[in-house]
Amino acid sequence: MHNRPTNKNGGESAAPDLSALSRFRRAYRGLLRKREQEQRALWHFQYFELQMIRSQDLQSLLQLLLREAPGYFKLGGTKLQLYDPDGTVCEIFTESLGTLPDNLVFTGEGHELQALFPAGIKVRMLEPGEELISGETVAQTSTGAVVLLPLVRQGTLVGCLQLAGTAESGFQSPDAEDRLVHFSALVAICIENCSNRERLRLHSLIDALTGVRNRRGFEESLDKEVARAKRTGLPLTAMFVDLDHFKRVNDKYGHPCGDRVLVEIVRNIGEVLRPTDMLSRYGGEEFVALLPACDDGQAKSIARRINLSVAALDLFDDTGELFHLSCSVGYSSWLDPALPGVDAPTVAQHLIGQADKAVYRAKQAGRDRARYLPL
């Protein structure tokens, strides 16, 4: 015979409510699972944010935001829009990236960004099919919301990061908005830091007097253009321009006048070159231009126009006395970049070497002319 549990007064104790205990255990396990899910989501965001903080340049940062984020957060896509009233931000990004991705856009109109946040500068979530008030288009999805993250620096709206969600993105969770607010602030800071770092790097590549690239900047451009020519198979020309008897200008009119002459001649040569060509100051009165997608025939025409343009340029000293200068041009062209087995650094070295020899030959032949040497 089994003994029943008794209370302290000797009576039988009530049996425990097993169904209530089971419900409590299930509820407790559910809370634990929810807490674990929230913690994993937090760690997920924090890991991505850590990768952004570690990004040292625009290329790696945009790789994260525009290419890796959709897969990482199970998004339908991302789009970055930045305020750029004078085009300098676009110029910095173009210098850093070369080709801008389709989901990176710039706007010079501040009201276009403001219109994205009619209820104030805060995270905005659009339900599937909801349209924006402004004319801006957003990649809508049928399975998830589109989140607009305002990018704010020093109280000013400087951009917007659009996240096209899916059913698995988790934007509707109770604490998602807090994470997104933190995330958008960090994105703005990282973009600003990488842009400033890139701006400083670009400044170190610019000649302070003429505003074109210096020798270090030219060498960086040369590596990129040789790699681009090899990739596209299009010809590449290097062209040296050396001012004839420039020392006489400094000796006769003084160095301040010589500096003004250099600035004026750089402007003059820049008007002859194509928008895709890159002019650099190689040293002293010697300049070098890289001409992408330019063969020897095209280069010959450009070289001759530079000769004529510089010779026709009216220059004046401090007293208003008129004088003229001429220049010698030497160039060489890489005509077959698509040939296999070509070492890019070797090509770059020989291309510059041949163009340098060509300008020397132009001077030997009497100056004020152009000479070509094949690669």
For 106-139, the pLDDT digits (tens) are 998 888 888 888 888 888 888 766 666 544 444 4
Domain spanning 215-372, CATH architecture: 2-Layer Sandwich (3.30)
If you average pLDDT over every residue of the chain, what do you get? 86
For 226-268, the pLDDT digits (tens) are 999 998 999 999 999 999 999 999 999 999 999 999 999 999 9
Residues near 48 by beta carbon (within 8 Å), at least 6 away in sequence = 64, 69, 72, 73
Q: Which CATH superfamily does the domain covering 34-202 fall into?
A: GAF domain (3.30.450.40)
- Answer yes or no: is pLDDT of 325 > 70: yes
What integer pLDDT is reported at residue 130 of this predicted model? 64
Contact 216, 204 (CB under 8 A): yes
Give the whole-angstrom CA distance, residue 318 versus residue 290: 33
Q: Where are the domains of the chain?
A: 34-202, 215-372
What integer pLDDT is reported at residue 139 of this predicted model? 45
- Answer yes or no: is pLDDT of 322 > 80: yes
Say if residue 132 is exposed, middle or buried (CB neighbours under 10 Å; 0-12, 13-18, 19+): middle
Give the whole-angstrom CA distance, residue 354 versus residue 331: 7
Give the whole-angstrom CA distance, residue 359 versus residue 241: 7
What integer pLDDT is reported at residue 140 of this predicted model? 47
- Answer yes or no: is pLDDT of 88 > 70: yes
Picking from 145, 154, 155, the residue whose alpha carbon sits closest to that of residue 176 is 145
- Answer yes or no: is pLDDT of 302 > 50: yes
Range among 13-17, 319-323, 357-361 with highest mean pLDDT value: 357-361
- Positions marked active-site: 285
322-347: average pLDDT? 91
pLDDT-based confidence at residue 218 (cuts at 50, 70, 90): very high
